[in-house]
Every structure is written in structure tokens, then in C-alpha cells.
Amino acid sequence: MDSASPDTSAYTDGEPFQREKRTLFARTWLPFCAAAQVANPGEFVSHSLGGWPLFVIRGKDGALRAFHNTCRHQQMPVIEKPAGRCDMLRCRYHGWTYDLAGALATAPPMVAPPDPKSVRLGSIELAEAGAMVFVRVQPARETPPSLPLPGLVATSTTDAACNWKTYIEAMLPQSGREKPEWELIWPLALRQTAGGASVVRQIVPRSFIRTRIVEFVFGDADAAAQARIAAAAAADKAAAEALQETRAAGNVGSDNAAVRDFRSRVAAASVEAAA
């Protein structure tokens, strides 16, 4: 994507999304879930994040681990729910069963591998950084951001019919905007203070025109405050989807400095990672 004059395809086509997956998403720490969601042994969260099916799970030893959500037998999903708790990880297609540390525990004799002890789920890097958990598919030099936040009080999830960049651009600071500004936690999280609460929005790129938004509310937020936060989230989703329509119609220019800076950073990260 040319940061000066991006092409419409950066927001509407699959090839730019695949390029972002290979370069930006693969080598950057990405927010995955709130640490409170996986506080106890067996608790897990799964996403298709940036084009990869992944999950995070707390082991019986207390360690938190992240894996590719693909069985080593025929690459079928091991976990099929977005969140929950389990004692073992069993692929329902052919019965390969893994322990919570990712090691193959059992497999039906007809489909068992020659050396079961050598089989493990594909692991990825993980970091608990304050109140959030971050993952990274490929090694790189950067360190994850730290988000020290008060206790988690609410979580909600919605899907938006827009490119992930469109959603972020719709939330970036704009002149004349009266509501509190969002801070971008590079590249896929937004943070805002709302009264006594801190709100973190995790941006989950599902495809080039589908984005999942997971909103975490931390701190002091009663029912009325949570209702206001939810109403603001619904309005922001509508604004992002409307902006996507203008992108699809060919209007991708911006006189917004924050948007220009964001686009330049996306382009630079893609070039650096590809080099």
C-alpha cells in the first residue's frame, strides 16, 4: 500500500490482505485475549487472527501457551469454540488427543502416527503483558506492549463488514470530533479512557472485508456505564462500515494526519518484514 495515495484494493481485495498476513501480522506482537479469560488451568480462547487459526490455553502446570489450531494429522481444527475450558484437546475428526501442553497423548490405532511421542501441536510465541495476552507467529526483535489495567468487568464481541485498516482509520483522532480519542496500540488494539473505566478494543482481521471487534472493559464501570460503552461501540461499527463503502467506491484519500501516519507505518512494516 502506497502511504501517499493508497489503492482501493488495499481495502477491498484479498491479495493485499495476504501480503499483510505474510509481512505485518506474522512478525508483530498481536493482542489475543485478556489474561483474565485464561486465568485457570484448561481455560482457552481461540481466534482466526490475521488469517491464522490460533488458540491460547492455560496448562495444568499453570503455564500459558499458544498454538496453531490445527491437528497434526490432517490439519483440522482442534478447538472449535471461541472460548471455554477443557481437560484435553481432542480433534473430533479422527480422534487425535493432545494434553494441554500440546503433546500428542492418544490416537486411534488405525490413524496413529509411527512415533506418537514426537508429535506436538505447532506452538507460537506468547507474552502476558499486563492485562492482555499477546502472540506472535514468527520471531522478531520487538517486545510486546504492556497494558497495566484494572480488573476485567465485561467483554463483548461483534463483527464489522469492513477491512481491518478501515476500522482503525475510522477510530483514529479527527479534528472536530467531540468524543474521547482512541489510542492505537500497534497494530491491532485501541485503548480509551471512559469515565472510571478503561476500554480496549482488539481488532481481529478475519478476512479482507470482515473484521471482528472484541471489546474489553476494565475498572470502574457499572451497568449504566457499560450500556454507554456498548452504544458507542455500535455507533463506531456503523461508522466503520460506512467508511468501508466510501473506500470501495474509490475514495481512499485523507487529509487526516493520524490516518496518513497509520498508513505510512503499515507500508513501512510490510517493506521491512519482506526484506
pLDDT in tens, 130-179: 899 999 999 888 888 888 999 999 999 999 999 999 999 999 987 556 56
At 179 the pLDDT is: 62
The band of 12, judged by pLDDT with boundaries at 50, 70 and 90, is: very high
Most distant CA pair in the chain, distance: 66
Kindly give, in sequence order, each residue whose CB lies less than 8 Å from that of residue 222, ignoring residues fewer than 6 positions away: none
Mean pLDDT score, 172-192: 82
- Pairing state between β 64-68 and 83-85: unpaired
At 274 the pLDDT is: 47
At 164 the pLDDT is: 97
The residue type of 220 is D
Check: CB of residue 260 under 8 Å from CB of residue 2: no
| Rounded distance between C-alpha atoms, residue 34 and residue 69, angstroms | 19
pTM for this prediction: 0.91
Domains of the chain: 9-27+148-274 (3.90.380.10), 30-136 (2.102.10.10)
Q: What is the pLDDT of residues 100-122, one digit of tens each?
A: 999 999 999 999 999 999 999 99
Q: What is the pLDDT of residues 65-105, one digit of tens each?
A: 999 999 999 999 999 999 999 999 999 999 999 999 999 99
| Rounded distance between C-alpha atoms, residue 3 and residue 66, angstroms | 33
Strand partners, 43: 85
The band of 20, judged by pLDDT with boundaries at 50, 70 and 90, is: very high
- Pairing state between β 189-194 and 64-68: unpaired
At 135 the pLDDT is: 96
At 234 the pLDDT is: 97
How far is the CA of 52 from the CAs of 55, 60, 200, 241, 269, in angstroms? Answer: 10, 25, 22, 24, 19
- Indicate if the pLDDT at residue 62 is higher than 70: yes
Q: What is the pLDDT of residues 210-222, one digit of tens each?
A: 999 999 999 998 9
The band of 205, judged by pLDDT with boundaries at 50, 70 and 90, is: very high
Q: Cell triple for residue 203?
A: 481488532
Q: What is the rounded average pLDDT for all residues in the chain?
A: 91
| Rounded distance between C-alpha atoms, residue 104 and residue 118, angstroms | 8
Q: In the chain, what percentage of residues exceed pLDDT 90?
A: 77
At 3 the pLDDT is: 46
Q: What is the pLDDT of residues 209-265, one digit of tens each?
A: 999 999 999 999 899 999 999 999 999 999 999 999 999 999 988 778 889 999 999
Q: Cell triple for residue 95?
A: 480422534
At 109 the pLDDT is: 92
- Indicate if the pLDDT at residue 194 is higher than 90: no
Q: Beginning with the edge strand found earlier in the chain, give each strand of the sheet holding 123-129 in spatial order.
A: 30-34, 132-136, 123-129, 64-68, 52-58, 43-49, 83-85
| Burial status of residue 56 (CB atoms within 10 A of its CB: 0-12, 13-18, 19 or more) | buried
Q: What is the pLDDT of residues 22-44, one digit of tens each?
A: 889 999 999 999 999 999 999 99
Q: Cell triple for residue 180?
A: 474521547
At 174 the pLDDT is: 73
